[in-house]
Amino acid sequence: MDIPEQDLRDLIALRHDLHSYPELGFEEERTSGIVARLLQDAGIEVHRGLGGTGVVGTLRAGNGQRAIGLRADMDALAMPERAERPYKSRIPGKMHACGHDGHTAMLLGAAKYLAETRNFTGAVAVIFQPAEEGGGGGNEMVKDGMMERFGISEVYGMHNFPGIPVGQFAIRKGAIMASTDEFMVTVKGLGGHAAMPHRGIDPVVIGAQIVIGLQTIASRNADPLEAVVVSVTKFTAGNAHNVIPNEVKLGGTVRTLKKEMRDLAEKRLKEVAQGIASAHGATVEIWYDRNYPVTYNHDLETEHAIDAAIAIAGEANVEKNMNPTMGGEDFSYMLESRPGAFIAIGNGETASLHHPQYDFNDEIIPHGISYWVKLAESRLAG
């Protein structure tokens, strides 16, 4: 499809504006206000406040009764931007390091086109979600009754992927992104003088052994053909060079692609930590949170997504069985609520997601808009 040059320039300017003023999860007041205004300007019915700061626009055409949902995320990350560009973040300690500014711009572009052409029969719900980056905004929108309220029968998501060439797409049936559990282990020992360690129970040494022990979950407990990641990313202990502290805190994340592996990892993490602590006369307190579930693409809806991508990019530019990634995505909650599919769109050779020099590639905006439009028109054909 051809996008008018002025429309494309406007969308790029919008994307740059959103990039300059990033907002964290559930704080997207400015962003959601802009989204709502642009949807209204396009003649689209607007619903605000879903999941906190979420926005849903609804378009109807013909007499079809089916409705599909197209979702983009709006939030930024709590990290500084380390690259100089004219539209660099103006908010200290916050940046769009995952491309949600671009996702928002692409879906707005698609919504405007669909509103102008109405080449479908039924309803399209364009979903602008808050708080994907750890806040579970997708879950909050589902809990607010979004699917039932707008009669959504299928739901689709898209994310840019650095390393995939511009103009290409990638997808797979089944698990495409991992669950994202989090844990914190508090090791309680007996502190004292660092020169007399025999008089205490050193939680630092015990904590270090737990860190190493947790690596055996993937290497010695899980089937080698199954995907399990256990990463300790925090270790806090003491304040002085000559004092053994009373306790140590260590935490991190567990990533899996199957429920069985998720259950195994949680069980073994608790057993390993408790066992090592007990062997040294210490105790542990364990907090374990099952965060985002596995992002699981449904078979039929994945086929629909593949067909739409091939129609606009050509079969050679659509990878139909991409390797899953151990990153997480709260679109998973929407896929648990309704059948659908999540697709990757190539961002070219850019810095990786969540990197302080990352930037969304404006060249992919027409490709993303075309995909959304083709998907909506094909799924709601008269």
Active site residues: 75, 132
Tokens of 92: 């200290």
User: How far is the C-alpha of 302 from the C-alpha of 312, rounded, in Å?
Assistant: 16
What DSSP assignment string belongs to 171-219?
Answer: --SEEEE-EEEEEEEEEE-B-EETT-GGGSB-HHHHHHHHHHHHTHIII
Within a 13 Å sphere around the CA of 356, how many CA atoms are in the beta-carbon half?
10
Supply the DSSP symbol for 88: -
Q: Which residue has the tokens 């509103």?
A: 115
- Partners of 185 in beta bridges: 250, 286
Q: Are 58 and 154 in contact (CB under 8 A)?
A: no
- Partners of 174 in beta bridges: 297
Query: What three-state secondary structure class fits 170?
Result: strand
Supply the DSSP symbol for 325: B
In the chain, the N- to C-terminal Cα span, in Å, equals: 19
How much is the CA Rg of the chain, to the nearest whole Å?
Answer: 23
Q: Are 106 and 99 in contact (CB under 8 A)?
A: no
Angle at 307 between CA 330 and CA 113, to 5 degrees: 75
Q: Which residue has the tokens 């769109």?
A: 345
User: How far is the C-alpha of 156 from the C-alpha of 68, rounded, in Å?
Assistant: 8
**What is the β-pairing status of strands 247-256 and 228-237?**
antiparallel
Tokens of 194: 């660092």
